[in-house]
Amino acid sequence: MARTAVLGRLTWQVATVAATRMESATARTLVLDVDGWDGHVPGQHVDLRLTAPDGYTAHRSYSISSAPEHGRLEVTVQTVDDGEVSPYLVEVAEPGDQLEVRGPLGGWFVRRPDDPRPALLIGGGSGVAPLMSMVRAATHPTRLVYSTRSPSDALFTAELAALSARDGRIAVTYVYTRSVPPGWPEPPRRLDGDMLARVAWPRDVDSVAYVCGPTGFVETVADLLVDLGHDPANIRTERFGPTGG
């Protein structure tokens, strides 16, 4: 059974675009219908493959941003300049279009529903996408720290505001690195140890941290958490960098 499940995840399946929505000027969520999709664990990703009329193919990996659901998943894609795949997904794809999907993939950077520990989620830029899957599926206390360049670059803002207002288990903290909203109480800044100390779970609480974003951001945040006394074994990281888009 285990081998069959693994082979299933590695098999390309047809996915139909059911809907799209812009999350920012350069990021878009695609809602995909996939026959036989059995859901995923928050934090996993998929490979998406496009095939041109001449037979040329290109594929890229994208985190799943939706909560687990049978038959449907969502990926949130940020445009990469001069990319092969992301410009099509963000600017061209429309409902009814088909592409191929493989997955779900990944077993380390995941938040399993039976894990009772409070979670600290820290995302940089589009690294918030897999963390959004965790927030949407949260059944235990969850704190999200979201570092973004400006309010216009932030993804999922309306939904995060609604979730945090409705669900006392979810708290969201923004860090703006280049420009801040009107009336924001502090100037642009980078996430540092002082801020992490204010929002992280206390060291004596058995918690788990997930950090996702550009490599430099992830390494810095992971080091800060260790400096604050958090067990490295409870810090899970996922990095991304230039991939051709």
Task: Count Cβ atoms within 10 A of the Cβ of residue 227 and give its class: 0-12 exposed, 13-18 middle, 19 or more buried.
Answer: exposed
Q: Are residues 88 and 170 in the same domain?
A: no
In-domain check, residue 171: yes
Same domain, 234 and 170: yes
Same domain, 54 and 137: no
Taking the C-alpha atoms of residue 36 and residue 48, their distance in angstroms, rounded to an integer, is 16
Inside any domain, residue 134: yes
Specify if 114 maps to a domain.
Answer: no
Domain final residue pick, 105, 128, 147: 105
Q: How many domains does the chain have?
A: 2
Q: Do 218 and 123 belong together in one domain?
A: yes
Residues 125 and 232 in one domain: yes
Please tell me the distance from the alpha carbon of residue 210 to that of residue 123, in angstroms, as a whole number: 8
Shared domain for 144 and 216, answered yes or no, is yes
Q: What percent of the chain has pLDDT over 90?
A: 87
Both 126 and 215 in one domain: the answer is: yes
**Whether 182 and 152 share a structural domain:** yes
**What confidence score (pLDDT) does residue 9 get?**
72
pLDDT digits (tens, 9 = 90+) for 13-23: 999 999 999 99
Asked if the structure places residue 231 within a domain, the reply is yes
One domain for residues 129 and 187: yes
CATH value at residue 63: 2.40.30.10
Please say which residue of 76, 105, 134 terminates a domain: 105
CB atoms within 10 A of CB 156: 24
- What is the per-residue pLDDT for 73? 97
The mean per-residue pLDDT over the stretch 188-211 comes to: 94
Do 201 and 136 belong to one domain?
yes
CA distances from 87 to 31, 50, 241 (A): 16, 12, 17
**Cα atoms found within 13 Å of the Cα of residue 48, Cβ hemisphere only:** 27
Same domain, 164 and 133: yes
How many CA atoms, within 13 angstroms, populate the side-chain half-sphere of residue 201? 23
113 inside domain: no
Contact 245, 60 (CB under 8 A): yes
pLDDT score recorded for residue 3:
44
pLDDT number for residue 171: 97
pTM, two decimals, is: 0.93
CA atoms lying within 13 Å on the CB side of residue 205: 14
Which domain-ending residue is among 105, 133, 168? 105
* Residue 38 in this model has a pLDDT that exceeds 90: yes
Instruction: Decide: residue 99, CB within 10 A, 0-12 exposed, 13-18 middle, 19+ buried.
Output: buried
Shared domain for 210 and 156, answered yes or no, is yes
Is residue 124 included in any domain, yes or no?
yes
- 88 contact partners, CB below 8 Å, separation of at least 6: 50
For residue 97, give the 3-state DSSP assignment.
coil
pLDDT at 203: 87
Kindly report the CATH number assigned to the domain that includes residue 181.
Answer: 3.40.50.80
Residue 94 covered by a domain:
yes
The predicted-structure confidence for 141-197, as pLDDT tens digits, reads as follows 999 999 999 999 999 999 999 999 998 999 999 999 999 999 999 999 999 999 999
Q: What is the mean pLDDT of residues 212-238?
A: 96
pLDDT-derived band at 245 (thresholds 50, 70, 90) equals low
Domain containing 152: what range?
119-240
pLDDT in tens, 68-97: 999 999 999 999 988 899 999 999 999 999
Flag whether pLDDT at 5 surpasses 50: no
Which residues make beta-bridge pairs with 116?
A: none
Is residue 35 classed exposed, middle or buried when 0-12, 13-18 and 19+ CB atoms within 10 A define those classes?
exposed
Flag whether pLDDT at 2 surpasses 50. no
Please indicate, yes or no, if residue 193 is contained in any of the structural domains. Answer: yes
Has residue 244 got a pLDDT over 80? no
CB 156 within 8 A of CB 163: no
